[in-house]
Amino acid sequence: MRAVAIQRFGDPTGMAMIEAPCPIAERGQVIIETGAIGVGGVDAMIRRGTVADMHPMPVGLIPGSEVAGVVAAVGADVDESWIGRRVWAFTGVGGGYTEVAKARVGDIVPIPDDLTFTDAVAIGSAGPVAHFALSHAHFGSADAVLVRGAAGSIGIATVELAARAGAQIIAVTTSSTERGTRLREFGATHVLDRAGNGDASAPESFDVIVDVIGGALVPAFIDRLAPNGRMVLAGMVAGPVPSDVGSRLLRGFQLSRSLATFSLDTVPADATNRVRREQFVAVTRGGLSAVVQDVLPLDRAADAHRLMDAGQVFGRIVLTP
């Protein structure tokens, strides 16, 4: 089968098409003929080598953590009725950029007949991250919210979910006026530049900040938290946060601010999959958006990563085998 592998960590030129053996379903696993493959921020971080210190990855890794397609085979202890069904699947830290993928049966969710594979991978991971990140921040409709890095799939879903919940103040950081205009369509009320400036009418402080970006500017955004404000770091596409981030919190000790990380790994699979199923239905009914910038063939995976590195993606890029 055809697949894309990381043969050298760094820029996208280190990715290449390869011929790989088809996976075989082991106990508790399913085999999926992929119809769509999500290209996510974690994929780019792994390919760049950003997470190498925390999670070393081997050369030759097939990246990609989510696919949608049809179950072709099942392993032992898996109900054979899954065969032929349309599903979304989490493949782990890799294994998605391929014509045939493998996943644990507990990591697959049926896709409604009227939901495309492309839309499934656009919202299947991002939507639950946004939902539970807001929950982790104890978000309420009266909170003033800032979404840092709002033009990606997680950011867009966070904006839309906050707006659906009744938030009246939803500020976003993004890289251009055009993106800001589009984000207003999903519920954003204030558009800021990447440094958090650019809108004089925006609040100086926020009750909740959901940060998908991470990197060197995290301490500056901690300073934008209101008293009792909660910041949730749900991604690190710009790299790790500075080592002095704790001292920044302590500097405002009397403001009772808090900073937390968030990963879906800490949410029970049944809870995540319940939300995922609900969001799939919401997309088919127009209650939630699956935003796809482009659909590219698998052999253009490196081009997809170049667009991500250049900050030119609004929503999600999807690959097709």
Q: What is the pLDDT along the chain (321 residues), one digit of tens a residue?
A: 999 999 999 999 999 999 999 999 999 999 999 999 999 999 999 999 887 777 789 999 999 999 999 999 999 999 999 999 999 999 999 999 999 999 999 999 999 999 999 999 999 999 999 999 999 999 999 999 999 999 999 999 999 999 999 999 999 999 999 999 999 999 999 999 999 999 999 999 999 999 999 999 999 999 999 999 999 999 998 888 998 899 999 999 999 999 999 999 999 999 999 999 999 999 999 999 999 999 999 999 999 999 999 988 999 999 999
Contacts of 107-111 spanning 24+ positions with Cβ under 8 A: 107/269, 108/30, 108/32, 108/71, 108/82, 109/273, 109/276, 109/277, 109/280, 110/85, 110/86, 110/277, 111/68, 111/86, 111/87, 111/280
Residue 51: what pLDDT?
A: 77
d(CA 23, CA 30): 10
Pairing assessment for the beta strands 206-211 and 225-233 based on DSSP bridges: parallel
d(CA 45, CA 189): 30
d(CA 220, CA 238): 14
d(CA 88, CA 124): 7
d(CA 304, CA 40): 10
* CA nearest neighbour of 157 among 136, 183, 189, 193: 183
Cβ(32)–Cβ(72) below 8 Å = yes
d(CA 196, CA 175): 11
Residue 54: what pLDDT?
A: 74
What Rg, from alpha-carbon coordinates, does the chain have? Answer: 20
User: Tokens 């493959």 — which residue?
Assistant: 37
Neighbours of 140 (CB within 10 A): 13
d(CA 55, CA 261): 17
All CATH 3.40.50.720 domain ranges of the chain, comma separated, are: 126-264
- Which residues make Cβ contacts (< 8 Å) with residue 109, sequence separation at least 6? 87, 88, 89, 124, 273, 276, 277, 280
CATH class of this structure's domain 126-264: alpha beta
Residue 55: what pLDDT?
A: 78
d(CA 318, CA 321): 10
Neighbours of 109 (CB within 10 A): 21
Entry field: residues in the chain: 321
- Full-model pTM: 0.96
Pairing assessment for the beta strands 86-90 and 66-74 based on DSSP bridges: antiparallel
Residue 320: what pLDDT?
A: 98
Buried b (16+ CB within 10 A) or exposed e, 264-273: beebeeeebb
All CATH 3.90.180.10 domain ranges of the chain, comma separated, are: 2-111+291-320
| Fold of the CATH domain 2-111+291-320 | Quinone Oxidoreductase; Chain A, domain 1 (3.90.180)
